[in-house]
Structure 1
């Protein structure tokens, strides 16, 4: 069976270092790096299969795309597609999971070590000539904590959370787990969200976004944290009340935060969190190692290969 396959925002899964070529086996392929909302219907008009990442699709689009049979989301989250509307129009929707576990865990620790070891600050200090200004053979800009003496609270114990816990244990850290599903863990201590925030030197968020979790990380919870604690978010921006986090960082309620996700992506350039020296922000890249994206594309191709036309 030959399909008309259209990729609407392919630059995220493949910015140019990988190949879409395997798709050619299954039909005619058109690839767009980015597609604006007002271009979706025109570009998808003849598609049997749409491959998207963050493009929003709902009843208004499905009604005008009579050929569409399959939507493949090249990501795990499916909140950008109206699944009820897809079912109504007999359109299958597939996502991809389990491709970025190691990539996200690696990014979590890159953030932790950036904050703890301050490699960039010390590098800049040396290049500014400070090592040659009577500081001796070694000097510190500020105290460097050691991970082996710290407690990390991992919020969410799915594939990524469990990988972060495993890496944390390898560093010799005490690991606390917040999980709504696990009842008992042999290797780690299971705690409530409140206890995890109170005891953690580092709190790393790995919960999926649900309506009841919107803004759950708020002023009340942040105030229970240690003044020396740091908050890491590689999950979903909506978990955090960004105004409350801004206040907590400004008044030193907590020491620092490192965010790979925000409520609005991209955020406005003058977003208060971007103005703070104790807040690191990266552009939603924790998932995007080359290996993770290779696995992602392979799973997208598998969805096409395994699709049975209606």
Structure 2
């Protein structure tokens, strides 16, 4: 049964309102991140790409079917602009790969998502640590998680995946969801949604706003969600090396060179490649602080480095 949530309008900074041409380019069937980045490197902007002649597009290696769509694009942009205004009224910010507002760290991914959608306070300036709990808790791992939450994680800005967040976990600053953000009000628990309304949690999705959970649209976007969240973070913390989110998260951390820690591994068990054991208490807090570039003076304070 879906939960009823109140309507809310979150103000979108005018600087973040996406260029409809950039958004339109990223939605074109047949357009890939590799081709789009190549075109941007050559001509500089989404508008300049749309203004290229058929011949110039073909010379850049654009497939004929896509050339025709780009040349005819000027007629479609006004409709795209109207759709973007509707999303902005709901507080949803699309970040197209072709726009200057796209996070630079995500451009460096091997397969950057064509569009990232966020709902809530943006950009996130804190140094984030991605936290993935085990798929199931034992009595021992549950106690370890509680201690870790009280100590090493309690003063950090966290990123997580829905439904990874546990009731006793600190509120995530960034929450990746495997569905379109227009469904967030219905799918999220009321306390999580309230955190979004208050600006404490920002939602992120790589799926189109209307994508239903388990739909073909969501399924096509989900594989790049872990790498996207990790790409916006400075450290990864997992409970075990296995699980629906743990494995792709660790893989993304390895490919991006993001420090990874594991806290729920049995004593004596082999650590995965490039992963360090995270201990609860002050030792774990110090290890995470070092990875995140945090200066600890009494209470932990975060160095505000703009990552976008």
Q: TM-score, normalised by structure 2?
A: 0.27
Q: TM-score, normalised by structure 1?
A: 0.26
